[in-house]
Structure 1
Amino acid sequence: MKRIIAVCLLASIVLVSNAQKKVSLFNGKDLAGWNIHGTEKWYVENGEMICESGPDKQYGYLSTEKNYKNFILTLKFKQEANGNSGVFFRSSIDGVKISGWQAEVAPLGQHTGGIYESYGRGWLIQPKPEDEKYLKEGDWNDYKIEVKGDEVTTWLNGHQMIYIKDAKIGEGVGFIALQIHDGGGIKVRWKDIKIEEL
């Protein structure tokens, strides 16, 4: 009996420890812990973070105040009004010129889950055409991005979209950022943004 109790206690400690590793990057109330770059709109509504095209119809970014190297990032996004966006990692910015890597968020057939290198080599990897169907347009999507050393893996709604091993990514340092694309007429909602550092 004592052994069973000890095993149960140990299992509880492991579960609590794993839960504590995940940290919320968005408090559901305001943009505390984030920095706005550009003139596009970023605001909070009903516990959701929203990015929306502004009058300039340019690129806009919302970056974490902290840098992250190795991590598992999970979040939910919902695309409205075009929805071209993305999640940057190990990135830096000068004005609205961002350098780093983007896990794409885009309309159907435009490579959500792929990795794009900004102001560098461009597309590094795109999902297979048959995997594009896992995007749910006009509904909430679960997105998971794992960045560890020189390896990146993305999942969309539980389905692995890409895996890449790249030396340049391995050397990268910087923050995580959400993007709103230029061109106007774009709106994306975000929530449940959590990170586990590895």
Structure 2
Amino acid sequence: MKHLFLTMLSTFLISGASYAQTTSLFNGKNLDGWKIYGTEKWYVEDGLLVCESGPDKAYGYLGTEQNYKDFVLTLEFKQNSNGNSGVFIRSTVDGTKVSGWQVEVAPPGKHTGGIYESYGRGWLIKPDPKNEKVLKEGQWNKMKIKVHNAKITSWLNGVKMVDFEDEKIGSGEGGIILQIHSGGDVKVSWKNIKIKTL
């Protein structure tokens, strides 16, 4: 009986560890698992994922081929030039029109870590102004996004930026989508993009 209990416990722990496993969304070599939307530039250079304004200087997106509902996403970004970008969750793209919710990645003072609903209600929540100072312009920044049921929580360099709950977000379906903002002269690098499903 004791042996059976230990066997069942071991199986449970192994399956639980597997369920909570963190996986990489970017392999550092190519864009496998992702789809480009629009004409802006997305490429891999020296093991980094780079987005850069193209000739159209329009909105561009790079989305996961797989949808994700509840998860913890961690990544690092560096704003090389006009770092206006973002990370969309539970979102879809039609042409270059995105439907969903963006955790902002922007120049200093422009609400990195806040949540914006494109083609909808606009800004849903902005970070406390004093927390915006944790953004390191031109350096690597660590972002963490937790999405569970109707709640989104974001952190930047270990500081909680927003904690927001919304019924519409709770019913959302879609993938994880990186954005390049329109206007030109935008260049942002990304690395260590990892996800743990909940």
Same fold per TM (> 0.5)? Answer: yes
* Partner deviation per Cα, 1:68-113 (whole Å, 9 max, x = no partner): 0000000000001111000001111110000000000000000000
Counterpart for residue 30 of structure 2: 30
- Map 1:17-166; keep pairs closer than 5 Å: 17=17, 21-166=21-166
* Closer, same or farther: CA 162–25 of 1 in aligned 2, 3 Å: same
Aligned residues: 187
Q: Distance in 2 between matches of 1:95 and 1:118?
A: 14
> Which residue pairs with 2:3 in the alignment?
none
Question: SS in structure 2 opposite 1:130?
Answer: helix
The runs of 5 or more residues in structure 2 that have no matched partner are 1-5
Equivalent-residue separation in structure 2 for 1:78 and 1:153 (angstroms): 21
* In 2: Cα distance, 1:132 partner to 1:90 partner: 25
Partners of 1:189 and 1:92 in 2: CA distance: 22
* Runs of 4+ displaced beyond 6 Å: none
Give unmatched runs, 5+ long, in structure 1.
1-5
- TM-score computed with the length of structure 2 as normaliser: 0.91
Alignment map for 1:8-19 (pairs within 5 Å): 17=17
Separation in 2 of the partners of 1:17 and 1:45? 33
1:20 positional shift: 6.1
Residues in 1 aligned to 2:168 and 2:17: alpha-carbon distance in whole angstroms: 32
Q: 2:108 is aligned with what amino acid?
A: L
Output the amino acid matched with 2:179.
Q
| C-alpha RMSD of the superposition | 1.6
| 1:20-44: CA deviation from partner (whole Å, max 9, x where unpaired) | 6101000000000000000000000
TM-score for the superposition, normalised by structure 1: 0.91
1:17 Cα offset (Å): 2.1
Q: Secondary structure at the match of 2:169?
A: helix
- Paired amino acid for 1:23: T
Is the CA contact (8 Å cut-off) linking 2:99 and 2:118 kept in structure 1?
A: yes
